[in-house]
Amino acid sequence: MTGSLAVAGVTPRDVVTPQTIEDLAGVVRGLHAERKAFAFVGGGTELQLGNAPRALDTVVRTSALDRVIEYAPEDQTITVEAGVTLAELDRVLAEHGQMLPIDVVDRERATVGGIIATNAYGRRRQRYGTAKDLIVGVGIVRPDGVRARGGGKVVKNVAGFDLPKLMVGSLGTLGAIATATLRVYPLPASLRAVALHFDGAAGVASAVAALVAQRFEPESVVVYNYGALVVTFAGTAGGVDAQIAAMLEPVAAASGCVDATELSDLERESYEQRERAVRRDGEWRVRVVAPPAYPVATLGSFAASAPLAVPVAYPLMGIALHAHAAGDAPPERHLIDLRENVAAQTRGTGSVIAHAIPDVARPHVDAWPTLLPAQYATMRAMKNNFDPYGLCNPGRYIGGL
């Protein structure tokens, strides 16, 4: 079925699924020789992201590239092919009490290549960073079909230009991610969360400030629906105990919350489901990004259309996620208004990225904010160097890259 593989609304003519990396390189070489436009798809969980590609002949799936190449638990690193799903990785790593702490919507489908290409992250970015912080090596297939590597399999390495960093978040516009070496982390001995409920945003902000002032080390800090602050701690039993206790008593009291409770595993999981929902549901899905001192949770929402999921914000990271219905015409106004609103409130430092856009609105809006001309010129030069014929996911990324 190619219909389900539409990339930002564009259905490819063909879908091929190479079985090996050699195969992948061969397929790309062939497409390059024929000057066919192509895009890479892993689990297909983020196909809505970005603008409609200008051309798309073939989707190249990486899903069959699903081998674990080398796992060194004593070194806390793993090298895998790009099509390995996060669920599979979880199973392999759990055998040695380890994990890849990147949150995605659907671990059974999301692939390592996909999370690198989209720089996907969720609440645990607070503690562990994103693929940018965890990737130590990458093997790619360039748009001309040439295989190349950057980085390595050791956790520290400054030899040569940092190809792994460039690939993170490049949305498949510079080539295919074929293999990756990632740093992994131990599963925490203890994992517990508290929820503090507030009447207003001011209370949330003061609780977050207290957490920073106390030098706590939370694994994640999430605000649900503008009023519920869920803070998760991961680490040794005693360390987690102490921080949980401090959240429930002094921090809760000083920030004027109406209710503070520790969450059961089930309750914690149910909050995490809401986090996944806002990244999955809704015809409009947006991410607001701003310097964290701005009250990001309340910065922006679509006034004009119904929320389809509980809004979620990461106040320490300055990131908020919203999912809404398509709403009434003209639908593109929703995004334009939100952008203006966010820019006005952040002196131009905040921006809005659309993860999903209703098909009717696609022709009228840009999924990405506008780049400064000088920045754009350098990115364009990078794209031209890697893909001079513009075959690789052309136009899907920011500024038409």
Partner 1 sequence: MSVATVPDALSARFAAIVGEKNAIWKPAELRTYECDGLLGYRVRPAVVVLPGSTQEVADCVKLARELDLPIVPRGAGTGLSGGSLPSTGCVVIGLSRMKKILDVDLENRVARVEPGVINLDISRALAADGYYYVPDPSSQSVCTIGGNVAENSGGAHCLKYGFTVNHVLGLTIVLGDGEIVQVGSRAGELDPLGYDLAGVIVGSEGMTGIVTEALVRVMRTPARTQTLFATFPSTDEAGDAVSRIVGAGIVPAAIEMMDRLAIEAIVLATGVDWPLDVGALLLMDVDGVDAEVEETTARAREQLEAAGSIEIRAPKDDAERALAWKGRKAAFAAMGRISPNYHVQDGVIPRKDIAPVLREIAALGAGAGLRIANVFHAGDGNLHPLVLYDARIPGQEQAAEHVAGEILRVCLRYGGSVTGEHGVGHDKACYLGEQFSADDLETMMLMRTAFDPERRFNPEKVFPTPRLCGDKPGAYVAHAVEISGEAGRG
* Residue 323 and residue 308 in contact, taking contact as beta carbons nearer than 8 Å: yes
Q: Looking at beta carbons only, is 5 or 343 nearer to partner 1?
A: 343
* Residue 76 and residue 185 in contact, taking contact as beta carbons nearer than 8 Å: yes
- Helix (H/G/I), strand (E/B), else coil: 283: coil
Residues of span 191-220 touching partner 1 by CB under 8 A: 212, 214-217
First to last CA, the chain: 27
Q: Looking at beta carbons only, is 116 or 325 nearer to partner 1?
A: 116
Using rule CB under 8 A, residue 95 touches partner 1: no
> Please, what is the minimum distance in Å from the beta carbon of residue 360 to partner 1?
25
> Please, what is the minimum distance in Å from the beta carbon of residue 293 to partner 1?
4
Using rule CB under 8 A, residue 187 touches partner 1: yes
Residues of span 281-320 touching partner 1 by CB under 8 A: 287, 289-293, 317-319
> Please, what is the minimum distance in Å from the beta carbon of residue 295 to partner 1?
12
Q: Looking at beta carbons only, is 1 or 158 nearer to partner 1?
A: 158
* Residue 68 and residue 84 in contact, taking contact as beta carbons nearer than 8 Å: yes
Q: Looking at beta carbons only, is 77 or 393 nearer to partner 1?
A: 77
- Helix (H/G/I), strand (E/B), else coil: 11: coil
d(CA 388, CA 383): 7
* Residue 21 and residue 139 in contact, taking contact as beta carbons nearer than 8 Å: yes
Using rule CB under 8 A, residue 329 touches partner 1: no
> Please, what is the minimum distance in Å from the beta carbon of residue 13 to partner 1?
26
In the numeric block, the tokens 């895009």 are attached to 39
Which of 238, 250, 330, 363 forms a contact with partner 1 (CB under 8 A)? 238
d(CA 335, CA 339): 6
Which of 36, 67, 109, 149 forms a contact with partner 1 (CB under 8 A)? 149
Using rule CB under 8 A, residue 98 touches partner 1: yes
Task: Please choose, out of 32-40, 47-55, 221-229, 367-375, the segment that lies near partner 1 by the rule CB under 8 A.
Answer: 367-375
Measure Cα distances from 176 to 3, 60, 142, 147 in Å: 22, 9, 6, 9
Using rule CB under 8 A, residue 163 touches partner 1: yes
* Residue 298 and residue 306 in contact, taking contact as beta carbons nearer than 8 Å: no
Contacts of 252 (CB under 8 A, 6+ apart): 196, 207, 260
Q: Looking at beta carbons only, is 140 or 252 nearer to partner 1?
A: 140
> Please, what is the minimum distance in Å from the beta carbon of residue 218 to partner 1?
10
Using rule CB under 8 A, residue 222 touches partner 1: no
Using rule CB under 8 A, residue 349 touches partner 1: yes
> Please, what is the minimum distance in Å from the beta carbon of residue 219 to partner 1?
12
Task: Please choose, out of 9-17, 262-270, 332-340, 372-380, the segment that lies near partner 1 by the rule CB under 8 A.
Answer: 372-380
Using rule CB under 8 A, residue 400 touches partner 1: no
Using rule CB under 8 A, residue 168 touches partner 1: yes
* Residue 30 and residue 21 in contact, taking contact as beta carbons nearer than 8 Å: no
- Helix (H/G/I), strand (E/B), else coil: 29: helix
Task: Please choose, out of 85-93, 106-114, 321-329, 375-383, the segment that lies near partner 1 by the rule CB under 8 A.
Answer: 375-383
Give the bridge partners for 307, in sequence order. Answer: 324
Which of 33, 160, 199, 340 forms a contact with partner 1 (CB under 8 A)? 160
Using rule CB under 8 A, residue 19 touches partner 1: no
* Residue 138 and residue 81 in contact, taking contact as beta carbons nearer than 8 Å: no
What letter does residue 70 receive in the DSSP assignment?
Answer: E
d(CA 341, CA 219): 30
Q: Looking at beta carbons only, is 168 or 230 nearer to partner 1?
A: 168
Using rule CB under 8 A, residue 228 touches partner 1: no
- C-alpha 392 chain-centroid distance: 21
Using rule CB under 8 A, residue 350 touches partner 1: yes
State yes or no: cis peptide before 331, omega within 30 of 0.
no
Residues of span 20-79 touching partner 1 by CB under 8 A: 72-77
Residues of span 244-283 touching partner 1 by CB under 8 A: none
Burial of 137 (0-12, 13-18, 19+ CB in 10 A): buried
